[in-house]
Each structure stands twice: as C-alpha cells, then as structure tokens.
A and B are shown apart, each in its own frame.
Chain A
C-alpha cells in the first residue's frame, strides 16, 4: 500500500518558487528520508504534507485518500517539529501526552502509553520535569516521544537531530531506526545531513531545486546516482567530478580528461561533448593494479582523522580527494608534495552529461 503520494506539487512564496513539479511516492512501512541541502524546500514540503500550508498546485494523498484540502488535524500524522517546540508550561509527561489529550483518549489509557513511549526513548526519569530543565538531547527525545505517541501509521520528522552533538545524534539515529522497525510504520524524515540519510533510510528521496530529482535505496543512490547533484550531496567527504570530453574514434567512444583517457560505455543524451566523471573519494587508491585506470598525482594536503586520512591531490590540474584507511597495510604512506600513482576501477567511474548519468567508463585507452 502507498502511504504517501505527492502528485505534481508546487508552492511559491511571492515570486519565489520553492517547490515545483514534485512527485513522490512512499510505500507503507518505509523509512523515507527526504534529503536536501539547506534551503532546498524540505521544510516547505513538510508543511504541505502536514497541512500547515496548502500547495498552489497538485495533490497530496495519504493512505490512498486525497487530503489536499484537509486541515492538519484531520490528516492523522505524528509530527516531530524541527525546533522541539515543547510547551514550556507543561511537564515532560504533559508534553508527551498532549496528542492523546487532544484526541480525547481517556486518562487511564494515557498513562501506560506515555510510559511505553518514554521507555522506548529512555526518558522515564524525566517525566516530572519542565522542558527548561532538560538538555538539548533530552528535549529532542521528548519531542520525538510526543511525535511517536500518536496512534497512527504515519509520522513526519522534520530534521529532528539538527544541531545535536555527534554522539547523541548517533544514539538517536539508532533509537529512531529501531523504533520505526518495531512499530512497522511509515516515517518521513527530512535532513540535510548525508551521513544521517544513509544511516537511517530504507529509501532516500533527493530534493534539489524544488523537486525530487531521484529516489531509491541508500545503496543505489550512493553507488549509482543518476545526477551529479546526488553524487555530490549524498557524500562525505565531497565526491570528485572530473571534467572531460567525449569523442568517437572509429567505433569506440573515448573520454579524454587532463589526467587520463578512458573508454566509455553508455548512451549520450545530447551532442555536447562535455562530460563529467564522478568518482567517490574511497574509490581512488594509491598504487595501481591490472585493469585499473592509472594516473600521476601530487599530494597537496593531508588531513589525518585518526582512523582514516583524507588526501587532496592534484592530477595534472584536476583536483581530487581521496580517503585512505589508516590501518590499511596495502596502502603506502604518503607525504605532502610527494608524487604518487593513483588508480581507479573504471566501472566505478560514472559519466554524467549535463548533470545526468549517461554511462560508465570501461577501461584505460
């Protein structure tokens, strides 16, 4: 069953178009992460979905019914807003119980529900406190608990982990994932953090320039993105893009870059010869092996992160970033300004033309 279907949504504020031509379908039971860079329209999408604002155009279907004209309260969505929005005049208990209170759930049924959700998020000991006595992470847990207590099958979480410290985020990511799986409900979760998306999602939808440019499982999106925007944004550190020229020599298609020449397999979508080759930092290795694309590069900068190091390279004018695992014995040690041989697996190099994927590289030419 489809939990959410967004059909050709558009929304503008004044002359500024925020969303347009937006289509998205979320099957029931998925953990759908809507990933988008800051100011890409995620929050507006959440506002349309929850009904806080009406779209200028298009329809919103929840559980198969058109809810475009329904008020927020009629949509039966569990909601975790971006800024916790915990009511300062309520205790934690009252805050969590609030959605049940509004739904006129009888008092004796509220208590066990609150205890259950509080247990889920490990905040039973905080129930008597007021929000201003909580730390940021505790507030966030309370906000999530308040969102999850609602008796529904659809929850919207608007970037709930933004601004929390790294450790806490990791813990909450685990909690959220576990909770969603346990309740077997649909989550729509927005974030601008690539790592968070990859860790949480069963499906990622990439929101860029006001529309969903592609969606799919984290693996698919990471390994074979259809857009340079996806490659670049769903990444840490930043993915490499190498400019090249596509030409036909005999019956073979060749891509020439300042760093290397490679064969091409795929279908160009236009006559322009300019293409870009996308390669993830961890796919570039120091040293070479048979069958790999090889080129020479100079080390510009080295960042040691403890477990791994990031190298910034210059390969005949092409700036590349690569990540090496520090404990990888097969990798040779490198220093700044040293010349090194680097290599890549040609099939992992994705070729884009005008921002869209047209094929992959085949091998050295």
Chain B
C-alpha cells in the first residue's frame, strides 16, 4: 500500500519537530560561540545579534587549547588506525581459520567493552602507575585496545561476507596468503574499514573519564579542556569559552557523520546490517 500524501506529511512534520527539538541546545551553543557574553545570557534570547569571533580567538589563544586539539587528533586518528590494522589481521584469521571456540573468543574480546569505564578506571589507573605508562604511548595503547573489539566485530562480519572462493582462486593461481589478504580481501571490505574507523574515532574523540584520570600534558584532549575550563576564576560558568570550544569540538564528528552516515549504521550493528554500503 502506498502511504497517502497526508500521512507522509504528518510523519515528516513529527520527525522534523523532534529533530529540531534535539538540535536546539546544539544550536544554542553554536550561536553562543558567536555572541558576546552579554548576548549569550540575555533574556529573552537574542536571535538577531552582531556576530563576533572574539570568543573563538580568546579560546584559541589560551595557552593549552591548540595542544588539546592536537592531542585529540593525534590520539584518536593514530589509535584507531593501529586498532584497524590489528583488527583486520585478527578478523581475517578468525574468519578463515575456523577454530572451535571462535564465537566464544569473539564474545570474550567484545566483553572487554561491556564493563563501564567507571569500573575500569581504578584498576587501569593503578596498573598504568605501576608500569609508568601514563604517557603518550600508554594512552595511545589504551585507546587502541578499546577500539579493537568493535573494529574486530565489524571487520569479521565483513570478511565473513567475502566468499572464501576468492581466496582459493588466488591460491590456485599462485598467490600468497598476504597477497590474498591485502589485494583480494582488503579492497572488498573497505566499507567495513570506514565504518570501524568512524565509529571508533567518535568514541575516542568523546572519551573523557580515562583521559581525565590518566592524562598528562601530552595526552589531555578536548573533553578534558572543557571540564577544567568550565568555570572562570569567579566560579561562574564561562559560557563564551565553553560554547566556542564545543563548536570546534563537534566540528570533526559532525563532518564525519554527515559524509559517512551510511557507514555509521554498519558500525552500530557490527557489520551485520550492511545496507547499501
């Protein structure tokens, strides 16, 4: 049955309404980053105002802001890339070398992500102190480790979908295992790689608790900066700073989600729902 035009209009109006409602705080923050402190808290809210870049300039000129951005970019991109490399190799192996307890092993690997960060943070803090890993390398490894389970699940789903006949055709024609992995299978799971990359990048980008506890000058990221810069010296919320930093902060995930939204669904379903990618 073809849904009637009115019905479609009603549904879409509702969807737009809910979407706009949820977008409102984001919109408020985005606007605030271009308002003067007086305009930000004005009642009633001012929709027409003289935009200013003062907030952004002052946010960027604070001594640590740029390093926070660099840390965020460096840690998230590098850790997810490393995790993808490890996960691809592992996923290929788990997919092709059928081993009795593969499903249980997959479950065990994923179960490391079922524990809430709040429960992990103390043991990890102690372990990192004991090993003296509270440096760039340590935090990088932590995020790499945390990005592996989801990447592995997504990639295994994708590699399972690549028929072994492809591998075998390669072998019979004289290809090596590495050739098959990187020239035959890898190009066919590119959507999975993108999905895993986006999905985990957003996770690392947003991670706060472990970063707050374990981080140091070389590893503190934007969420940390938001937390410690929340209030000014007088104890009031520094809305100008929060708004402008938030605006810069959501820029990367927003762009990624906008351009790669179809892959996001793949990530959330571990590659079992592949849709049109």
Contact = CB atoms under 8 A, between A and B. Distances in A.
Interface stretch (B104-112, B144-152, B161-169): B161-169
Contacts of A87: 166, 184, 187-188
A103 B174 contact: yes
Contacts of A102: 170, 173-175, 179
A81 B170 CA distance: 11
Interface in B170-195: 170-176, 179, 184, 187-188
A73 B188 contact: no
A294 interface: no
A77 interface: yes
A72 B165 contact: no
A130 to B, nearest CB: 12
B166 to A, nearest CB: 5
Interface residues of B, number: 16
B173 A52 contact: no
Contacts of A150: 173
Contacts of A99: 173-174
Nearest to A143: B169
Contacts of A88: 188
Nearest to B187: A89
A85 B172 contact: no
A79 B169 CA distance: 7
A68 to B, nearest CB: 16
A81 B163 CA distance: 12
A99 B179 CA distance: 13
Contacts of A12: none
Contacts of A71: 171
B251 to A, nearest CB: 32
Contacts of A50: 168, 172
A51 interface: yes
A204 B169 CA distance: 25
A73 B166 CA distance: 14
Residue of B165, B166, B172, B176 most packed against chain A (CB within 10 A): B172
A85 B171 contact: no
A245 to B, nearest CB: 51
A150 B170 CA distance: 12
Contacts of A85: 163, 165-166, 168-169
Contact of A81 (B168, B179, B184): B168
Interface string A92-130: 000000110011000000000000000000000000000
A153 B171 CA distance: 18
A83 interface: yes
A72 B171 contact: yes
B166 A51 contact: no
A283 interface: no
Interface string A296-310: 000000000000000
Nearest to B176: A73
B166 A52 contact: no
B171 A73 contact: yes
User: In the complex, which of the residues A74, A75, A77, A98 has the most CB atoms of chain B within 10 Å of its own CB atom?
Assistant: A98
A8 interface: no
A81 B168 CA distance: 9
5 contacts: A72-B171, A73-B172, A83-B165, A98-B173, A102-B174
Given A72-B172, A73-B172, A103-B174, 18 more contacts: A51-B171, A51-B172, A52-B171, A71-B171, A72-B171, A73-B173, A73-B176, A82-B165, A83-B163, A83-B165, A85-B166, A87-B166, A87-B188, A89-B187, A98-B173, A99-B174, A102-B174, A150-B173
6 closest Cβ pairs, A-B complex? A73-B174, A85-B165, A79-B172, A89-B187, A99-B173, A72-B171
